[in-house]
């Protein structure tokens, strides 16, 4: 049995707590590895290591820090195939989809290579008589990232690449369900020239997370996961004076206007609703056709497409999606489908009975499609996180705009239309952080920022892009007068520039 420990001080170390969790092979349902769950003492060891290494790293000029990331990009590219395979085998998503997971992470590492420019401060000459004023951005020290199972390459890179480029040392606490790729990424960072102690991976569960929350030497936490845990971490982290950003769950709507190109809308719904078995925070889980006629035409095209989805092994290049991450996840998603039937929604495609021949113990589930879901149902209000799409029929544009606006989650949303005025009005008014216009999964690229609103995001700075540099640095502003010093004598009133 493969054992996964931690990566502390630039090397792999075995877990010492005596506690482990199973890492499954979702394709077959077998346990493929045991991952160590860190104790408080092990977390402390990693923090001390990071704290000792960080000042030296911060003192390196930013070009040199960027060069480590450049080398890291090269090393990941050399290992792309094996990393994607490892990722697919632990998560369950298909190998081509796993490549996308790696790529969207690398793009943030590419962005962070611009750190010499990104960390430049501001300078005002002659802000007063003989006075110059300038600001600089300095790293926070030791910072931490706590990441979810569903993007085990992308989200760790979204966190550690900008944080490390800024001169911080980083503690990553990845999901215990698929820790293999984060561990390998840390090894590659060291191979790329990162000093030992600057990137540590400490595997674990609530105990490891609580140790991060309580550690006075950890200055900032970036979290991504479900909203209940996001709220817990945001509350506790802020109360102990840390800088915290937490990104939570989602219920992303796609509005289909009567003038939309329905074939394109259906393609978009199939890919965005069922890709990665719906285990994406930007998956579309609610389709909102506007008007009964649009809804009927949409359902006519959608039903056969959902019925013909190809579910396969994670290693099958022709599969539309693979298994879910764990048996527990399948149970939860099936439970929501049962609930939807009880609540009175029309289950027009039922994937609950799907089994994969020869892999009966794998964590598979077929695509499910509900029609006539209403806003008071729990299957509408709650995040299901599986291959289940709900159709909510809206009578007009205003009702369609109100649905995502009033929903407690506000991560992503999309509108499909040919009408620029409707799209513009929607983008301006909808209470959601990321909006797609004829684009179903509007994940902003690395040089913009990513973040949801309402219960999908806590804290005022987003992930990646310029916000990540602000999040992982603090501003120092210097007011300097040369060479007259204070020869004019003491001043007792507040200096102003009047």
Give residues in contact with ligand NAD (CB under 6 A). Answer: 146-151, 173, 175-176, 205-206, 209, 224-226, 229, 247-250, 281, 383, 385, 411, 452, 456
Among residues 75 and 435, whose Cβ is nearest to ligand NAD? Answer: 435
Among residues 233 and 256, whose Cβ is nearest to ligand NAD? Answer: 233
Minimum gap (Å) between residue 109 Cβ and ligand NAD: 18
Among residues 68 and 333, whose Cβ is nearest to ligand NAD? Answer: 333
Minimum gap (Å) between residue 213 Cβ and ligand NAD: 8
Q: What count of other Cβ atoms lies within 10 Å of the Cβ of residue 378?
A: 12
What count of Cα atoms within 13 Å lies in the side-chain half-sphere of residue 129?
7
Among residues 62 and 222, whose Cβ is nearest to ligand NAD? Answer: 222
Q: Is 166 annotated as catalytic?
A: no
Minimum gap (Å) between residue 157 Cβ and ligand NAD: 13
Minimum gap (Å) between residue 134 Cβ and ligand NAD: 35
Among residues 66 and 108, whose Cβ is nearest to ligand NAD? Answer: 108
User: Which residue has the closest beta carbon to ligand NAD?
Assistant: 225
Among residues 233 and 265, whose Cβ is nearest to ligand NAD? Answer: 233
Among residues 170 and 385, whose Cβ is nearest to ligand NAD? Answer: 385
Minimum gap (Å) between residue 117 Cβ and ligand NAD: 26
- Find the catalytic residue in 113, 166, 246, 281: 281
- HEC string of the chain equals CEEECEEECCEEECCCCCCEEEEEECCCCEEEEEEECCCHHHHHHHHHHHHHHHHHHHHCCHHHHHHHHHHHHHHHHHCHHHHHHHHHHHHCCCHHHHHHHHHHHHHHHHHHCCHHHHCCCCEEEEEECCEEEEEEEEECCEEEEECCCCCCCHHHHHHHHHHHHCCCEEEEECCCCCCHHHHHHHHHHHHCCCCCCCEEECCCCHHHHHHHHHCCCEEEEEEECCHHHHHHHHHHHHHCCCEEEEECCCCEEEEECCCCCHHHHHHHHHHHHHHHHHCCCCCEEEEEEECHHHHHHHHHHHHHHHHCCCECCCCCCCCCECCCCCHHHHHHHHHHHHHHHHHCCEEEECCCCCCCCCCCCCCCCCCEEEECCCCCCHHHHCCCCCCEEEECCECCHHHHHHHHHHCCEECEEEEECCCHHHHHHHHHHCCCCEEEECCCCCCCCCCCCECCEECCEECCCCECHHHHHHHCEEEEEEEEECCCCCCCCCCCCCCCCC
Minimum gap (Å) between residue 69 Cβ and ligand NAD: 22
Minimum gap (Å) between residue 493 Cβ and ligand NAD: 49
Q: Which residues are catalytic?
A: 281
């Amino acid at each position: 049995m493969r054992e996964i420990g931690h990566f502390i001080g630039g090397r792999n170390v075995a877990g010492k707590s005596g506690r482990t969790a199973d890492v499954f092979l979702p394709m077959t349902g077998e346990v493929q590895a045991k991952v160590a769950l860190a104790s408080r003492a092990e977390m402390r060891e990693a923090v001390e290591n990071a704290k000792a290494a960080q000042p030296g790293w911060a003192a390196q000029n930013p070009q040199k820090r960027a060069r480590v990331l450049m080398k890291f990009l090269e090393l990941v590219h050399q290992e792309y195939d094996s990393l994607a395979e490892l990722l697919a085998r632990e998560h369950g998503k298909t190998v081509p989809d796993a490549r996308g997971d790696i790529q969207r992470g690398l793009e943030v590492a590419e962005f962070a290579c611009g750190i010499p420019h990104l960390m430049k401060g501001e300078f005002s000459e002659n802000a007063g008589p003989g006075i110059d004023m300038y600001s600089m951005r300095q790293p926070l020290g030791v910072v931490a990232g706590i990441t979810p199972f569903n993007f085990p390459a992308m989200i760790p890179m979204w966190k550690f690449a900008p944080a490390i480029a800024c001169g911080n040392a980083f503690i990553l606490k990845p999901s215990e369900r698929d820790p293999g790729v984060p561990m390998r990424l840390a090894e590659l960072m060291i191979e790329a020239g990162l000093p030992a102690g600057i990137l540590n991976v400490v595997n674990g569960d609530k105990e490891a997370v609580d140790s991060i929350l309580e550690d006075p030497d950890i200055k900032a936490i970036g979290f991504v996961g479900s909203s209940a845990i996001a709220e817990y971490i945001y509350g506790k982290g802020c109360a102990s004076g840390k800088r915290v950003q937490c990104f939570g769950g989602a219920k992303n709507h796609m509005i289909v206007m009567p003038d939309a190109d329905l074939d394109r809308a259906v393609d978009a719904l199939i890919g965005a609703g069922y890709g990665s078995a719906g285990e994406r925070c930007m998956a579309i889980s609610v389709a909102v056709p506007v008007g009964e006629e649009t809804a009927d035409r949409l359902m006519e095209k959608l039903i056969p497409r959902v019925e013909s989805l190809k579910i396969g092994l994670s290693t099958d290049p022709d599969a539309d999606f693979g298994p879910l991450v764990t048996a527990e996840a399948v149970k939860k998603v099936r439970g929501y489908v049962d609930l939807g039937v009880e609540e009175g929604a029309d289950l027009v495609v039922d994937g609950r009975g799907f089994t994969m021949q020869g892999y009966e113990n794998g964590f598979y589930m077929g695509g499910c499609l509900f029609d006539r879901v209403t806003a008071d149902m729990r299957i509408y209000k709650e995040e299901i996180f599986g291959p289940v799409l709900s159709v909510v029929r809206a009578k007009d544009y205003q009702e369609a705009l109100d649905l995502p606006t009033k929903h407690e989650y506000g991560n992503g949303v999309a509108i499909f239309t040919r009408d620029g005025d409707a799209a513009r009005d929607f983008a301006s008014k909808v209470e959601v952080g990321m909006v797609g216009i004829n684009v179903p999964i509007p994940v902003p690229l690395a040089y913009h920022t990513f973040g949801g609103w309402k219960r999908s995001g806590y804290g005022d700075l987003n992930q990646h892009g310029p916000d990540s540099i602000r999040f992982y640095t603090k501003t120092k502003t210097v007011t300097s007068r040369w060479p007259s010093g204070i020869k004019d004598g003491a001043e007792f009133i507040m200096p102003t520039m009047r």
